[in-house]
């Protein structure tokens, strides 16, 4: 008997999340078509859904801003000495240098991604109202800003924090609805 959720097949994205039907009912009831939700449970659903949507649909590219760093290999010049260069009388020094292979001649490389302002606000909201799931929110942030950003070849173990976070959001929303 399997005691863990199969994250490859039972995802909210695939319409088979742990609380799928409840999620859909709550989402339809609490999340507006645009803008922020009126209730905190609606806002948490909106935030978690937006993060999850962008992960599955876009590799989280809309949740991160790129950061460029100076290429360490060429010290930002974009070029390296051409080791095969042999001076001759007709040379104008263009052949003395070649484009740096590390940065493709740009002088800068992609650095670690940082959260977009939009993603920062969603993460802040999720951490504020779901402190017991802050470790999952941190894993989602790592997924967005880490080395695997923009990776459409999903290792389904990587989606686990998104799915577990959504479970926590739905549980929170269920409990809040019971209080009303």
Residue 119 covered by a domain: yes
Residue 8 covered by a domain: no
Per-residue pLDDT tens, the chain, 180 aa: give them: 344 445 556 889 889 999 999 999 999 999 999 999 999 999 999 999 999 999 988 888 889 887 777 888 788 888 877 776 566 666 566 667 778 887 777 777 777 778 999 999 999 999 999 999 999 999 999 988 876 655 555 566 688 999 999 999 999 999 988 886
Do 132 and 43 have their domain in common? Answer: yes
Do 124 and 97 have their domain in common? Answer: no
Do 93 and 73 have their domain in common? Answer: yes
Counted domains in the chain: 2
Do 138 and 125 have their domain in common? Answer: yes
Say what the pLDDT of residue 110 is.
72
Say what the pLDDT of residue 54 is.
92
For the chain, the straight-line distance linking the first and the last C-alpha, in angstroms and rounded, comes to 38
Q: Please answer whether residues 139 and 7 qualify as being in contact, where contact means their C-beta atoms are separated by less than 8 angstroms.
A: no
Backbone angle region of 78, left / alpha / beta, with phi > 0 → left and psi within -120 to 50 → alpha: left
Q: Please answer whether residues 82 and 38 qualify as being in contact, where contact means their C-beta atoms are separated by less than 8 angstroms.
A: no
Residue 173 covered by a domain: yes
Do 25 and 92 have their domain in common? Answer: no
Do 101 and 133 have their domain in common? Answer: no
Residue 95 covered by a domain: yes
Per DSSP bridges, beta strands 64-65 and 68-70 are unpaired
Residue 148 covered by a domain: yes
Say what the pLDDT of residue 138 is.
95
Say what the pLDDT of residue 1 is.
38
- Which of 110, 130, 163 delimits the end of a domain? 110
Do 96 and 170 have their domain in common? Answer: no
The parent domain of residue 150 ranges over: 20-65+114-179
Say what the pLDDT of residue 166 is.
98
Q: Which of 82, 145, 143, 78 is nearest to 116 (CA)?
A: 145
Say what the pLDDT of residue 171 is.
97
The C-alpha angle 36, 112, 68, rounded to 5 degrees, equals 105
Do 39 and 76 have their domain in common? Answer: no
Say what the pLDDT of residue 81 is.
75
């Amino acid at each position: 008997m399997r005691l863990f959720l199969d994250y490859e097949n039972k995802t909210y994205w695939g319409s088979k999340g742990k609380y799928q039907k409840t999620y859909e009912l709550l989402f339809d009831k609490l999340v507006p078509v645009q803008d922020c939700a009126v209730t905190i449970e609606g806002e948490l659903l909106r935030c978690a859904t937006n993060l999850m949507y962008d992960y599955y649909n876009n590799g989280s590219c809309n949740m991160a801003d790129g950061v460029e760093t100076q290429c360490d290999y060429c010290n930002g010049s974009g070029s390296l000495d051409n080791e095969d260069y042999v001076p001759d009388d007709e040379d104008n020094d263009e052949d003395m240098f070649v484009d740096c292979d590390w940065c493709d001649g740009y002088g800068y490389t992609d650095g670690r991604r940082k959260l977009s302002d939009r993603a920062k606000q969603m993460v802040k909201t999720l951490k504020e109202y779901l402190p017991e799931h802050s470790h999952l929110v941190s894993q989602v942030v790592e997924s967005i800003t880490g080395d695997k950003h923009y990776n459409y070849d999903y290792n389904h173990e990587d989606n686990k924090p998104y799915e577990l976070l959504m479970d926590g959001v739905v549980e929170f929303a269920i409990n809040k609805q019971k209080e009303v």
